[in-house]
Chains A and B, each alone.
Chain A
Amino acid sequence: MNTAATTTTDEHADSHDHEHHDPRLAHHFDSHQQQFDTGKLGIWIFLVTEVLFFSGLFGFYAVYRSLHPEVFLYASQFLDTTLGAANTVVLLFSSLTMAWGVRCAQLGQSRGLLVCLVTTLACAAIFLGVKSFEYTEKAHHHLLPGRAYQSPEHHDAAAHATAADGETAAAAKEAEAAEASVHGDHGDESLFEKTKHTLSYMTTVLWGVIVLSGIAFGLLFKNPNKKTLATIAGCVLVSAIGMQLGAFSSIGYHQLGHAEKPTDEEIELAETVPAEYAKQKEKIPEPMLARTFFSVYFCMTGVHAIHIIGGMIAISWLIVRTVHGAFTTYYFGAVDFVGLYWHLVDLIWIYLFPLLYLIN
Chain B
Amino acid sequence: MATVVDSSNPKSDFPIQYRELNYLNCTKGWKSWFFTLDHKRIGIMYLIGVTVAFFLGGLFAVLLRTELLSPEKMFLSADGYNQMFTLHGAIMTFLVIIPGVPAAIGNIILPVMLGAKDVAFPRMNLGSFYLWMAGAAFFLAALALGGLDTGWTFYTPYSVTTGTAVRTALLGVFILGFSSIFTGLNFIVTIHTMRPPGMTWFKMPLFLWALYATALIQVLATPVLGITGLLLIVEKTFEIGIFDPRLGGDPVLFQHFFWFYSHPAVYVMILPAMGVISEVIAVHSRKHIFGYRFIAYSSIAIAVFGFLVWGHHMFVSGQSKVVAVVFSAITFSVSIPSAIKVFNWLTTMYKGSIRFTTAMCYALAFLFIFSIGGLTGLFLATLATDIHLHDTYFVVAHFHYVMMGSSLVGLFAAVHHWWPKMTGKMFNEFWGRIACLGVFLGFNLTFFPQFLLGTRGMPRRYYTYLPEFQNLHVMSTCGAYLLGLSSALMAATLIYSVYRGKLAPANPWGGASLEWQCSSPPPHNNFDHPPLAGDPYVMESVVYNEEIGGYVPVECQGANKGSVTASGDNEA
A residues near B (Cβ < 8 Å) are 15-16, 18, 26-28, 30, 34, 37-38, 41-42, 45-46, 48-50, 52-57, 59-60, 63, 67-68, 145-148, 167, 288-289, 291-292, 295, 298-299, 303
Contacts and interface: CB of A to CB of B under 8 A. Distances in A.
Nearest to A37: B193
Contact of A28 (B122, B223, B230, B257): B122
Contacts of A37: 193
B303 to A, nearest CB: 14
B248 A289 contact: yes
Contacts of B530: 15, 30
Contacts of B118: 27-28
Nearest to A144: B238
Main secondary structure on chain B at its contact with chain A? helix
A36 to B, nearest CB: 10
Nearest to A294: B240
A291 B240 CA distance: 7
A99 to B, nearest CB: 24
A15 B529 contact: yes
B220 A52 contact: yes
A48 B193 contact: no
Interface in B253-275: 253, 257
A34 B189 CA distance: 11
9 contacts: A16-B529, A27-B118, A41-B189, A42-B185, A49-B185, A52-B221, A147-B238, A295-B241, A299-B242
B231 A56 contact: yes
B464 interface: no
B194 A38 contact: yes
A67 B241 CA distance: 13
Given A52-B220, A53-B227, A167 B246 contact: yes
B185 A56 contact: no
A145 B241 CA distance: 8
Interface centre among A16, A49, A59 (most CB of B within 10 A): A49
Interface string B171-199: 00000000001000110110011100000
Contacts of B120: 38, 42
Contact of B231 (A18, A27, A41, A299): A299
A37 B185 CA distance: 14
A60 B230 CA distance: 13
Contacts of A49: 181, 185, 219-220, 222-223
B241 A146 contact: yes
B532 to A, nearest CB: 14
Interface string B514-529: 0000000000010111
B194 A34 contact: yes
Contacts, number: 117
Contacts of A34: 193-194
Contacts of B116: 28
A292 B188 CA distance: 39
Which A-B residue pairs are the 7 nearest by beta carbons? A56-B227, A295-B240, A28-B117, A52-B223, A53-B223, A28-B118, A146-B239
Nearest to A167: B246
B250 interface: yes
B223 A27 contact: no
Main secondary structure on chain A at its contact with chain B? helix
B219 A18 contact: no
B375 interface: no
Interface residues of B, number: 45
Contacts of A299: 231, 234, 240, 242
Nearest to A57: B227
Interface centre among A16, A18, A34 (most CB of B within 10 A): A16
A56 B571 contact: no
Contact of B528 (A16, A27, A54, A56): A16
Interface in B142-196: 181, 185-186, 188-189, 192-194
Contacts of B240: 145-146, 291-292, 295, 298-299
Contacts of B222: 49
B219 A63 contact: no
Contacts of A53: 223-224, 226-227
B1 interface: no
A26 B124 CA distance: 14
A27 to B, nearest CB: 7
Given A28-B122, A145-B240, A41 B257 contact: no
Given A16-B525, A167-B246, A291-B241, 4 more contacts: A16-B529, A38-B194, A63-B253, A148-B238
A30 B530 CA distance: 10
Nearest to B248: A289
Contacts of B185: 42, 45-46, 49
Nearest to A34: B193
A60 B248 contact: no
A258 B119 CA distance: 57
Contacts of B239: 146-147
Nearest to A53: B223
B247 interface: yes
Contact of A56 (B181, B219, B224): B224
B228 A42 contact: no
Contacts of B253: 60, 63
Interface in B81-118: 116-118
B238 A145 contact: yes
A49 B120 CA distance: 18
Contact of B241 (A16, A52, A292): A292
Interface centre among A28, A38, A53, A68 (most CB of B within 10 A): A28
Contacts of B234: 299
B121 interface: yes
A145 B235 CA distance: 10
B110 to A, nearest CB: 13
Nearest to B241: A292
Contacts of A38: 120-121, 189, 193-194
A210 to B, nearest CB: 32
Nearest to B234: A299
Contacts of A27: 117-118, 525
Contact of B248 (A18, A45, A54, A288): A288
